[in-house]
Amino acid sequence: MRKIDNLVIHCTATVQTAKVESIQRYWRDTLKWRSSGYHVIIEANGNIVRLAEDSAVCNGVAGHNSNSLHVSYIGGIDAKGKGLDNRTPQQKVALWQVIKAWKQKYPNAKVLGHRDFPSVKKECPSFDAGKWWESLQN
């Protein structure tokens, strides 16, 4: 079993109506990835889609994937492509459920956003993931 140190939250940086299949096709056909970008993706309606088992290494954050799990919500940008926290209420609940379940399995893992890693120059997930998680613990 892998040692999990990081629970990483992402946004897809797509419109909220993007389909999981089109995101997966982009990874496969454009980026030439053999594995998923995330373990879990959350659709706008809150539907949680499992893309990879926890035991799999995904392509979430270059150089930090061997000890991380990745979850993403579909969305995260405005009409001009700028970062925007546009999680639906259903996505917020689903994201909380995913992170809560992972924290129970990996209690010492840190909750981070993609942007919180060194050398990352993205706004992803378009909100402060650590502060969001901490705010839910009080």
Active site amino acids: 10, 38, 114, 122, 124
3-state secondary structure of 75: coil
- Burial-class residue 72 by CB neighbours within 10 Å (0-12, 13-18, 19+): buried
Strand order in the sheet with 40-42: 48-50, 40-42, 68-73, 6-11, 110-113
**What is the phi/psi pair of residue 106, to 5°?**
-130, 70
Tokens of 91: 């996505």
